[in-house]
A and B are shown apart, each in its own frame.
Chain A
């Protein structure tokens, strides 16, 4: 049972050694007089692990990334299998896997995941559609900014879940209030972050455009917009996490289905293994969304990624 940890540890250690041997060609500080004998202990000591704002060797980063998942998982496994905690409270990885299988064969897993994803897609999609033009307009025109920034600045500090009762009164118990919640919870942050990105478009780039014969409209659509595209994708990547938690909040309150609903039901029957299963699914899907937006960035904005 300790075997997996040992293996991981050895693998990690090996990779470390490899990195250290080829990552550390000794850097001798050259003095201005080009003296051949390097003086000892002069200047900063070279380091691989603690390099500031710099890449580390690929094998080392891979090893660290594997550890990042493997260590918490191993601790969970260890604690669960030592029977320190009643497995009603802390199910083992195996039990969670079984719960996952059960949810899958019962068809709940697919239904609930699909329902949650649909809500996030529609709610966040609408927020994205609305926030791009408004955010760009607010960043580009001080007039639009003065008009909208105060109200958005206030409303965005009202916690979205506090609107749930109102949304239920206005929109009932169906899909509408959940989509509205996700929309409200993300649209303002999207707008403000896109606005900020537009403010950082170099003025010289716009002036160049004018002296090349460009009109304001062309500068807006052909210079400002492509310039902030990477920031827009990044904004979405950050804020889609919020929509992912809001959908669960909405489903915890009132829903027919969805991963949040599944968690509430599991709690009723004290099925902590199912709760764990749902949490893992939520994490994995969120991470996948994050990765795919990173992929989109790499594919569409090569110039902005190194």
Chain B
């Protein structure tokens, strides 16, 4: 696995509004050589994104002037309180809603609607209940016109990646929540997105399963180096998984801080005991509480 990144264990904080670096603070690990289906390179950029909902009670400003970016192979998390517009942000990036102002580009192309270059994992398990696990994973490829043989091979590969080969013939209703989410992840990976968007994918899981899934997700990312933009309200999860974290404020949602997480990429649960890990967590918690944080100010 890609643990040989040799990053300096120094907390670096990128402030809001700082020109987003085209050169990353840390070099991204090259695509893992053992992946038979390498994920494409990409550059997601979000510029001055604003979203206002017009409700009966009047307009609700969900997101206000959001600027952020994700690069190839990065694992980026967005944390924020409930109602800070996290889901709204992800739906905009996925093209499922349209922004009030601003734009998002993927490799320079403006997002105008949903597409397979931005795969989405929802919190509610969205497997097709009438399809077997295998067919679910194949479905994205089928939609894209991939032939049955290639489809089967790729689906089998990704089912193996998520460790569910044995359940290929099962129906979704025969799986547990964590297994369903792994199938959804395999399905998204198989349809070769440039970036995987995840909206609180483990929010509905119990503590143990959640921890297993987080470890799984980190290992998966280390193996495939697929670019990930993940929403969570669990700060611990964000620090454990990501390399960069955007912290949102609520009402309206704005980016309060960009935090670089300089921890080794092959983390295990024991890292939660490390001082550095706890500093990140407490620092971000303080930000969410509305305090300026000594732990994160460098």
Contact = CB atoms under 8 A, between A and B. Distances in A.
A205 B126 contact: yes
Contacts of B129: 227, 303-304
A213 B143 contact: yes
Contacts of B197: 211
Report the contact-size class of chain A (Cβ under 8 Å from the partner): 20 to 34
Given A211-B120, A227-B129, 19 more contacts: A207-B120, A207-B126, A208-B126, A210-B114, A210-B115, A211-B95, A211-B115, A211-B197, A212-B139, A212-B188, A212-B191, A213-B191, A222-B139, A222-B143, A223-B128, A226-B130, A227-B128, A302-B171, A303-B130
B279 to A, nearest CB: 36
What DSSP secondary structure best describes chain A's contact surface?
helix
Contacts, number: 72
28 contacts: A202-B124, A202-B126, A204-B124, A205-B126, A207-B94, A207-B96, A207-B114, A207-B122, A208-B126, A208-B184, A209-B143, A210-B96, A211-B115, A211-B116, A211-B118, A211-B119, A212-B144, A212-B187, A213-B116, A214-B140, A222-B142, A223-B128, A227-B128, A229-B130, A301-B130, A302-B171, A303-B172, A304-B129
Interface string B184-212: 10011001000001000000000000000
Contacts of A208: 120, 122, 126, 184
Contact of A204 (B122, B142, B171): B122
Instruction: Give the bracket for the number of chain B residues in contact with chain A.
Output: 20 to 34
A227 B126 CA distance: 13
A14 interface: no
Interface string A262-303: 000000000000000000000000000000000000000111
B267 interface: no
A62 interface: no
A302 B120 CA distance: 28
Interface centre among A210, A212, A222, A303 (most CB of B within 10 A): A212
A212 B143 contact: yes
A47 interface: no
A30 interface: no
